[in-house]
Amino acid sequence: MTAATTAVAALAFLIPLGWELRSDHRDQVMATAERHSATVAGAIAAGTNQKGLAAAITAAGGAVVHPPTGNVPGRVSAAEVQRTADSGDIRTIDISDGVVRLEPVTVAGKTSVVEIFVPAADLDGHTGRNWLLLLGIALGLIAGSVFVVDRLARGAVSSARNLVQAALKVGDGDLGVRIQPSGPRELAEAGYAFNRMADRLVTARTNEREFVADLSHRLRTPLTALRLDAEALDPDDTQVGMLDDAELDRRRGIRRIRQAIVTLEGEVNELINTTRKAVAAQVAETVADGLCDASEVVRERMMFWSALAGDQNRQYKVIGAHLRIPVPVARAELAAALDAVLGNVFRYTPQGTAFEVGISRRDGWVAVRVEDAGPGIPDPEKAMQRGQSDQGSTGLGLDIARRAAQATGGSVSLARSAMGGASVVMLLSDADAVPKQASRFGLVGRMARERTNRPGRSE
């Protein structure tokens, strides 16, 4: 299609050009004949003698002079010569082998006619060569256009084929496929858009699975409260002594409640573990951007946990949560992280164990600290690994806190608390100040030392 279009355009341009070149050449040849005729006519008008006239005729390339009287043989008939002399006009007569130019010259009332013959070979000279040259130009244009269009089309087809293949792979579930954008600008833009779409699909799927895992882990908070309440109920042993029917029903009901809680915990753990296996090969987890008041989150979550602490006779303190302290993390994420840490306190320390929640800020960093008077954490390094736990749980609690802290550029550290148990410190960047401390863990240590004069020791 492109070759045909180029051929039509070339012919539409070159054919008129060929005719114009032919016409220009004929005009040049006739102009030369006119100059020759004018030379002879000038000699006749000047009354030049026979010798001078012969020289002029020779210079004119063999012109023929028809005198007023007599008949000199020429290429046209005597009648045409007489008609020219009678009319007094210059005439051009086509003959079989060329063109004859007749120019009348009147001297002393007598008219002579100068005849100049132009052969057909001179009129059409170089015309064939010009047409061949133009034909070659046309063929060159067509060949060049075919080559260029082929190269462009080959690149466009290759780019489109790569895009189609990549789209099919993504449709089959391979979200890791990417393409190198190439080809025309539109296809290159489509390639970049495809890569961005694939990146967003990976991020969306990862975030979705992380959300399922973290949401499932959040279910452990009320589940822990239910389990602790169930443990506070009377024994469910139905084999001891003589029990009446009402007592047997009551104890059986307690047993069913405890078994249901154990089953529910198992289902939640299975859901978390299954989701984590699907996310293991994906990119590193990210926490949604946001901004919240860390003090408000601490106060709000402690309202929930305080009721359970009262049921278990746990003494607790909340320190530093009376001032507004903004941090660049989503409210729900910070609440989930704090619930995960506090849930570990209630789950892994005996009833009646005191704990403390504190928040402080310094040098562009905000420290959220949870300490307890329990047995501590035997292996802090292993406890910080996602999915690792020696207590039969999913091991995601501290990892949720770590991801929330790292999303702000901070970190989570574990140590022995001043109360004798575990100390978990989430270090978050301050939304109102630029962090100045190079070593974040050094800042955590100084905050802990400033809070109490009692020496701490590592787990």
Residue 389: band (very low, low, confident or very high) from pLDDT cuts 50, 70, 90: very low
Q: What is the DSSP string of 203-250?
A: HHHHHHHHHHHHHHHHTHHHHHHHHHHHHTSPP--SSSS---HHHHHH
Query: Which residue reads 């001078």 in tokens?
Result: 52
Pick from 97-101, 335-339, 377-381 the range whose average pLDDT is largest.
335-339
Beta strands 365-372; 422-429: pairing state:
antiparallel
The mean pLDDT value of the chain amounts to: 76
The residues facing 423 across adjacent strands are 371, 415
What pLDDT shows up at residue 381? 74
- pLDDT mean over 99-122: 82
Q: In what order do the strands lie in the sheet with 355-362?
A: 316-319, 355-362, 365-372, 422-429, 411-416
- pLDDT mean over 294-307: 90
Residue 433 pLDDT > 70: yes
What is the rounded distance in angstroms from the CA atom of residue 114 to the CA atom of residue 102? 6
Q: How far is CA 341 from the centre of its chain?
A: 40
Higher pLDDT, 369 or 241: 369
What pLDDT shows up at residue 112? 83
User: Could you report the per-residue pLDDT of 226-239, keeping only the tens digit for each?
Assistant: 777 777 666 666 66
What pLDDT shows up at residue 347? 86
Cα–Cα–Cα angle for 448, 452, 458, rounded to 5 degrees? 50
What is the rounded distance in angstroms from the CA atom of residue 208 to the CA atom of residue 186? 32
Angle, helix 245-279 to helix 220-231, in steps of 10 degrees? 150
What pLDDT shows up at residue 237? 65
Pick from 132-136, 202-206, 254-258, 305-309 the range whose average pLDDT is largest.
305-309
What's the predicted TM-score (pTM) here?
0.39
The token pair at 427 is: 């270090």
Higher pLDDT, 252 or 214: 252
Residue 280 pLDDT > 60: no
Q: What are the structural domains, with CATH classification, of the chain?
A: 2-125 (3.30.450), 128-216 (no CATH), 289-459 (3.30.565.10)
DSSP one-letter code for 439: -
Q: In what order do the strands lie in the sheet with 91-95?
A: 64-66, 110-119, 98-107, 91-95
The token pair at 395 is: 């091991």
Q: What is the DSSP string of 329-380?
A: S-HHHHHHHHHHHHHHHHHHS-TT--EEEEEEEETTEEEEEEEESSS--S-H
Residue 365 pLDDT > 50: yes
Query: Is 187:156 a contact under the CB 8 Å cutoff?
Result: yes
- pLDDT mean over 141-155: 72
Share of the chain above pLDDT 70, in %: 71
What pLDDT shows up at residue 30? 79
Query: How many of the other CB atoms lie within 10 Å of CB of 223?
Result: 16
User: Could you report the per-residue pLDDT of 22-77, keeping only the tens digit for each?
Assistant: 677 677 777 888 888 888 788 777 777 777 777 877 777 768 888 887 677 887 88
Nearest-10 Cα torsion for 146, 147, 149, 152: 170
User: Could you report the per-residue pLDDT of 179-237, keeping only the tens digit for each?
Assistant: 877 777 787 788 888 888 888 887 777 777 666 666 666 666 677 777 777 776 666 66
Residue 411 sits at φ, ψ, to 5 deg, of -165, 175
Residue 278 pLDDT > 70: no
